[in-house]
Structure 1
Amino acid sequence: MFSLWFKGASKNLNLMEWDKLWTLNKKIIDPICPRHTAILKERRVILTLTDGPEIPFVRIVPRHKKYEGAGKKSTTFTKRIWLDYVDASSVSIGEEITLMDWGNTTIKDVGRDEEGNVIHLTGELHLEGSVKTTKLKLTWLPEIDELVNLALVEFDHLITKKKLEEGEDFLDVLNPCTRRDTSAFGDSNMRNLKHGEILQLERKGYFICDVPYVRPSKPIVLIAIPDGRHQT
């Protein structure tokens, strides 16, 4: 979803990078698109909160903190929560982190397997702590059956260079892999996404819903929308 405005016809040939259009597009969709949370399935890690709620509870919160028109969503708070592996592997014992939309937690233990990979975390809530003092602000999902399956799809450029040289055959620079699919879990509110709806997955980027929720075994398909930043 982006707008282009043309003033008259031009015979000049302009070579423009898509990054500028995607940056403009971000400025249009960011102020209004709802926020949701996803955790990658591969190597995800459980964080057990020793003083977390024994009985899960639910809060109704805005889908966008600065745009009321995005509506509301429910967030479930549990004693055991999922973190992305890359986040879990970046914390250390004694460190205070922020669980986004909940509060601070102090990491008490980091469990590792024989190869040194993080497989479990233990923490203690410190909700009176300030989010301004923590280095890590992490997204999370509750360990509940209501999470939905997601297929996150990212498309890459068709060729491996920005510009073909004169006389160069584009077949020589075709990108061998232009699509990447990643499996993830999403918050239960994503059952209500409609085809074509644009959203932001917190700390992951912008997406458009290509295939909405049908049944638990069939994942919701979300296609990544570039935002103008160069991928590493």
Structure 2
Amino acid sequence: MIDPVCPRHTAILEENRVLLTLLDGPHRPFVRVIPKHKKYTAAGDKTTTFTNKIWIEQADAKAISPNEEITLMDWGNAIVREINKDKNGNVTELTGVLHLEGSFKTTKLKLTWLPDTNELVPLTLVEFRYLITKKKLENEEDIVPVANKDTKKEVGGVGDSNMRRLKRGDILQLERKGYFRCDVPFITPSKPIVLFAIPDGRQTATK
């Protein structure tokens, strides 16, 4: 019901996010206006800033091999030349070049990204989990052993600047993350937007 109409936005998890420097990227940032939903124009438009330094998630950075060609969603392809890691194996920095003439059909990784600008907004992504870890309880069964003690998970992130205009109750999709409802909209840069995850039916009752 919501997928065909809800706007799309981009978010990157805050923990150990990685800066990708594009050596031939635009040194002077420029902005493009693109639709919030490619198949539903009524969702409106959003602005995307293109720069020579962009953020990607740690998990995505770890999946990249040296000299691998990747697709940066809503931009085009790039080739990652150098990968720097710390002593724990976390990626600390990436260096690459654009390859916009490349085809997304040839790449294994299609990655979300955000520009390295001060316009990004802080986020708290909240997931509520099942209260009971068993699908069905017997009549006399004690509920305590199957009660889930970990029913709420909060993760910090950053989102695109267009999310400043979200209102409480707005439904949106975060690319590659799922569907969310805005519980606390943008107030100041020091207070995160709070988004509640919407179950999409793929979770099992015992997850």
TM-score, normalising length: structure 2: 0.97
SS of equivalent residue, structure 2 residue 46: strand
Find the counterpart in structure 2 of residue 194 from structure 1: 167
Amino acid at match of 1:202: E
Maintained 8 Å contact 2:121/2:163: yes
1:33-48 pair list within 5 angstroms? 33-48=6-21
SS class of match (2:66)? coil
The 3-state SS of whatever aligns with 1:29 is coil
* Cα separation, 2, equivalents of 1:116 and 1:39: 20
Tell me, yes or no, if the aligned pair for 2:58 and 2:90 is still in contact at 8 Å. no
TM-score, scaled to structure 1? 0.87
- Unaligned regions of 5+ residues in structure 1, if any? 1-27
Aligned to 1:97: 70
- In the TM superposition, what whole-angstrom CA distance separates every residue of 1:117-138 from its partner, at most 9, and x where no partner exists? 2111111000000011101000
1:207 to 163, 173, 180: 180
Residue 86 (str. 1) matches residue 67 (str. 2): no
2:98 to 125, 131, 149: 125
Hey, which of these two has a bigger chunk of helix by percent? 1
Higher strand share: 2
Q: Which has the larger radius of gyration?
A: 1
Distance in 1 (CA, whole Å) between partners of 2:184 and 2:37 is 22
Give the number of equivalent residue pairs. 205
Matched, 1:220 2:181: no
What SS is found at the alignment partner of 1:87?
helix
Q: Which of 63, 70, 84 lines up with 2:36 in the alignment?
A: 63
Sequence identity percentage:
64
Residue 145 of structure 2 is matched in structure 1 by 172
Q: Which one-letter code corresponds to 1:106 in the other structure?
A: I
Secondary structure at 1:52 match in 2:
coil
C-alpha deviation, 1:45, in angstroms: 0.4
- Considering only aligned residues, what root-mean-square deviation do their CA atoms show, in Å? 1.0
